[in-house]
A = this chain, B = another copy of it.
Amino acid sequence: MTNKAENKELGFGTKTSTQKKRLINKNGSFNINRIEISRWSSLSVYHALVKMSWRKFNFFVFLYFVIINLFFASLYYLTGTEGLKGIEATTESDKFLEAFFFSTQTFSTVGFGRISPFGHISSTIAAIESIVGLLGFALATGLLYGRFSRPIARILFSKNAIIAPFKEGKAFQFRLANKIRNSQITDMSCSVTLAKFENEKGTLIRRFIPLDLEIKNIIFFPMTWTVNHIIDENSPLFGMTENELKDAEVEFMISLNGFDDTFSQTVTSRHSFTHEELVYGAKWISVFSQNENGQTSQDLNKISEFEKVSF
């Protein structure tokens, strides 16, 4: 997947041109409302189960385990607990509980055998439950693998983007780094699109303009990358003052992709900086230092640090 921003439309169309809110949320999702045709057909269960938090996922697994065992316990109970040899309970509630525990032992295929199905009905239910359990567990295996192996480019972005002095003029800059230390990303590419409001015959229109980057492709990504757009006469930011940037409610939309060389998968990331996250007149504080052995060291805690400068 190549990312040649220059030949491509952004995909936000012209109808969003009057939306005053940011278009890309901080977590990379799109800030666009949708009215679905159907609540269910628009939901991919697998995507949902793979993307939800571990806490939520574990809760759903546990809930499923309890519900399915309540269901089978009811079947055993209703078809008669005399079908479960070894039950020693005397009260009805205890009998149901024993049926429930027997069900968990069947579903998980532990099968201790103190209680065992006896007779055709309970044996049939137990056979069905064990196959349901096996398939449910097969699903869980697939989901856990899907959750774990899902490629995420955990990119660390600077909190702000800045307008920095650059050579004779100015530049738009932000910094990013690979958050994960034990996995390399190679062949990184970055594209930045500017969204700004323009007054066209009295109407506010949001325009999307790709920004040229000094470097938009790097082979290796072991270092903090300062993405740099030079504000020259070809730049849509050329000549804009701090107030004009605020008035135009600029939003810088960022699309990243690279290649995770552990899993040989393309990983992508989205981000945006709004005018509120833009610092006009600043320069970055270096993340690098060099120790006595002549080895360079980078401190990721400093990735968002800058100092104010005036033009």
**Contacts of A89-117 to chain B: CB distance below 8 A:** 97-98, 101, 104-106, 108-114, 116-117
Pairwise interchain contact B127-A30, C-beta atoms closer than 8 A:
no
Pairwise interchain contact B130-A104, C-beta atoms closer than 8 A:
yes
Q: Which residues of B contact A221 (CB under 8 A)?
A: 11
Pairwise interchain contact A138-B137, C-beta atoms closer than 8 A:
yes
A261 at the interface (CB under 8 A from B): yes
Pairwise interchain contact A11-B219, C-beta atoms closer than 8 A:
yes
**Of all chain B residues, which has the CB nearest A214?**
B9
Q: How many copies does the complex hold?
A: 4
Pairwise interchain contact A223-B32, C-beta atoms closer than 8 A:
yes
**Main SS of chain A's interface residues?**
mixed
**Of all chain B residues, which has the CB nearest A33?**
B297
Set B21, B105, B141, B180: member contacting A44, Cβ < 8 A: B180
A158 at the interface (CB under 8 A from B): no
**Contacts of A132-154 to chain B: CB distance below 8 A:** 133-135, 137-146, 148-151, 154
A55 at the interface (CB under 8 A from B): no
Q: Which residues of B contact A179 (CB under 8 A)?
A: 37, 41-42
Q: Which residues of B contact A48 (CB under 8 A)?
A: 182
- Report the separation of the CA atoms of residues A118 and B290 in the bound assembly, to the nearest whole angstrom: 63
Name 6 interchain pairs, CB-CB below 8 A, sorted by A. A10-B219, A21-B293, A105-B110, A110-B110, A142-B144, A186-B270
Interface residues of A (CB under 8 A from B): 1-3, 5, 7-13, 15-16, 18-21, 29-37, 41-44, 46-48, 50-51, 61-62, 65, 69, 85, 97-98, 101, 104-106, 108-114, 116-118, 120, 123-124, 126-127, 130-131, 133-135, 137-146, 148-151, 154, 156, 179-184, 186-188, 191, 193, 215, 217-226, 255, 259, 261-268, 270, 286, 288, 290-291, 293-301
13 new A-B contacts, CB < 8 A, other than A1-B187, A69-B127, are A11-B223, A12-B223, A18-B290, A33-B291, A43-B180, A44-B154, A62-B131, A101-B117, A113-B113, A134-B137, A138-B141, A146-B149, A264-B268
